[in-house]
Amino acid sequence: MTPSAPGTVILSPHFDDAALSVAGLVAQLPGPVTVVTVYGGEPASHHPVSWWDSACGFSTAREAYRARRAEDARACELLGVESVVLDHPDGPYGDGTELTGIDACLAELPAETRLLIPIATNQPDHEKVRDRALAVAAQLGRAVPSVYADLPYTGHLDEWGSAGADQALGRSHGYGLAYQDMTSRHDLRVEHDLTLTDDQWALKREAVLCYGSQLAPLAADHGILLARNGPLRAERVWAVKPVAEGTGKAGGSGNDANATDIKGS
167-199 pLDDT, tens per residue? 999 999 999 999 999 999 999 999 999 999 999
Quickly list H helices, the chain.
17-22, 51-55, 61-79, 100-108, 124-140, 165-171, 177-183, 198-209, 215-222
- For the chain, how far is it from start to end, CA to CA, in angstroms? 32
Could you report the per-residue pLDDT of 43-91, keeping only the tens digit for each? Answer: 998 999 999 999 999 999 999 999 999 999 999 999 999 999 999 999 8
Question: What count of Cα atoms within 13 Å lies in the side-chain half-sphere of residue 212?
Answer: 5
* Cβ within 8 Å of residue 245, ≥6 positions away: none
DSSP code at position 23: T
Arithmetic mean of pLDDT over the chain: 90
Sheet holding 114-118, edge to edge: 82-85, 33-37, 8-12, 114-118, 146-148, 234-241, 187-195, 260-261
Q: Any idea of the CA torsion for 57, 84, 193, 158, to the nearest 10 degrees?
A: 20
Q: Tell me, what's the pLDDT at 1? A: 56
Q: Could you tell me the CA-to-CA distances from 155 to 32, 62, 121, 195 in Å, in that order?
A: 27, 31, 10, 12
**What are residue 254's phi and psi, to 5 degrees?**
70, 5
Beta-bridge partner residues of 26: none
Q: H or E segment at 6?
A: none
Q: Tell me, what's the pLDDT at 197? A: 98
Residue 263 scores a pLDDT above 50: no
Q: H or E segment at 191?
A: strand 187-195
